[in-house]
Structure 1
Amino acid sequence: MEHFKSQRTMSKSAVKISSDLLSNPLCEQDAAFLEMVTAFDTAMRRMDSFNQEKVGAGEAFSSVFPSLNVAVKRREQTLQDYRRLQAKVEKYEEKERTGPVLAKLHQAREELRPVRDDFEAKNKQLLEEMPKFYSSRIDYFKPSFESLVRAQVGYYTELHKIFGELAARVAEPRPGDEQRERQHDARLAELRALSIVADD
């Protein structure tokens, strides 16, 4: 599950980077750069959308048996209460049998009885249900695991497609180095021709 969440965080960060790039003044000045950044932003948003779907599927997969987890936790809490009250009863049983001690022992036993009954009921239920759950694990987990693997394959296939399209768009022919150098030289010549530029 942590793997899904870290991928989700990564895709959110990628969307933030692409959004920041889009708001950069360079995008206003250079149409080719704007086109590349727009393509990158679109790809990152598509990736983030697929990550959201995958995280949702992963959360559903990881929370299949919440009631079983809750039942185990409740049994553990009841067991702790039972042990605490049992220790209290044993403490009074070891003391000298005076009137006040016997009264406290009686009260401790009365407190223990419903907690013990509650623990035994919860324990009995888990002892009956856990073997059934354990024996049916393959029937459930095999198709669930298969579905998770298929979702991963679909996800990475789609990411491959998204980044393949992005790579193709970014790799479109751009002005060559020589052409860029001529453009820069022409701009420098225009700047040198301005009256505010001093001659060397």
Structure 2
Amino acid sequence: MGWDCFLLLLSFFLFLTNTTFQLEDQTKKLHKDMKKSTEADLAMSKAAVKISADLLSNPLCEQDQAFLETMTALDTSMKRMDAFNQEKVSQIQKTVIDPLKKYGGVFPSLNMAVKRREQALQDYKRLQSKVEKYEEKEKTGPAMVKLHQAREELRPVREDFEAKNKQLLDEMPKFYHSRIDYFQPSFEALIRAQVVYFTEMYKVFSELTDQIDQAGLTDEQRERETEAKLSELRALSIVADD
């Protein structure tokens, strides 16, 4: 192998390893972010269920039938939302998070192969330098014997390095390019899970709106109504400023 060719292959190999290390970092980050996202989703729906349960247990529900009916409808909707959310998270766990974890599990073996190749390269360079040193010496009998021994020692080490190097040069690009085929089904499943969830949420909250929005007021009208009631409360002597 010529020196120029060797340097070219070395540069290509460094490019491959850097690209693969970036892929490993991105895979770990994506796996971590997906877990955080699903944990946040579950926490959100659990909090919503807790809020609706607290409202339903409010003493006002015992005194106001209309308020009781509204809080009951809200509580039912929040429980439905939580159930759909748990189903969505379960799907994402199976189709996205678990495959990401399995994919990340490949990198330790790949990194070990890179380390073995690096060790083989160092052994190759060391013995190659030894051969070159004897080649530069005067061609005496003992020097030629040592040169022959050094070359014999170098030959299996060079073959071992070239085999390890060729294997990685052949397989690393295949591994890197396979990421799209591997991840595409997961991301498609993620989109489907989100679509199903938000479709169901539209139904849940549309039904809830129909149950509690008897007056049919707009958000602006409700805001004005709330401000009017708050103004009445502020006008009471027990909350008036001293």
TM-score bracket relative to the smaller structure = 0.5 to 0.7
Matching residue of 1:62: 97
Output the TM-score relative to the length of structure 2: 0.47
For residues 17-166 of structure 1, the aligned pairs below 5 Å read 17-60=51-94, 61-73=96-108, 130-166=172-208
Post-superposition offset of 1:43: 0.6
What is the identity percentage for the equivalent residue pairs of Structure 1 and Structure 2?
Answer: 53
Q: Does 1:10 align with 2:44?
A: yes
Alignment of 1:160-175 (within 5 A): 160-173=202-215
Distance between the aligned counterparts of 2:168 and 2:105, measured in 1? 11
Determine helix, strand or coil for the equivalent of 2:99.
Answer: coil
Per-residue CA deviation, residues 163-190 of structure 1 (Å, 9 max, x unaligned), is 111111111259xx9xxxxxxxxxxxxx
Conserved? CA contact 2:88–2:193, under 8 Å: yes
Structure 2 match to 1:182: none
- State TM-score, norm by structure 1: 0.56
The 4+ residue runs of structure 1 with deviation greater than 6 A are 123-128
Please name the residue that 1:94 is paired with.
none
Letter in 2 for 1:10: M
Does the CA contact (< 8 Å) of 2:46 and 2:82 recur in 1?
A: yes
1:129 deviation in Å? Answer: 5.6
> In the aligned structure 2, how far is the partner of 1:126 from the partner of 1:56?
37
Structure 1 residues 35, 160: CA separation in 2 closer, same or farther (over 3 Å shift)?
A: same
- Tell me how far 1:52 sits from its aligned partner: 0.7
Deviation per CA, 1:60-80: give whole Å up to 9, x if none: 21220534423434666896x
Q: Is the 1:72–1:126 contact (alpha carbons within 8 Å) kept by the matching residues of 2?
A: no
Q: CA deviation at 1:130?
A: 4.6
Partner of 1:136, secondary structure, is helix
* Counterpart Cα distance in 2 of 1:130 and 1:148: 27
- What amino acid maps onto 2:39 in structure 1? K
Distance 1:125 1:39 in 2: 64
What displacement does 1:127 show? 7.1
Q: Does the 8 A contact of 2:99 with 2:186 survive in 1?
A: no
> Where in structure 1 are there 5+ consecutive unaligned residues?
84-120, 178-200
Distance 1:68 1:127 in 2: 20
How far is 1:11 from its partner?
Answer: 0.9
Shift of 1:136: 2.5
* 1:133 aligned partner, one-letter code: F
Shift of 1:139: 2.5
- For structure 2, the residue ranges without an aligned partner over 5 or more in a row are 1-33, 120-163, 217-224, 226-242
What is the RMSD computed on CA atoms of the aligned residues?
3.5
Contact kept? 2:74, 2:208, Cα under 8 Å? yes
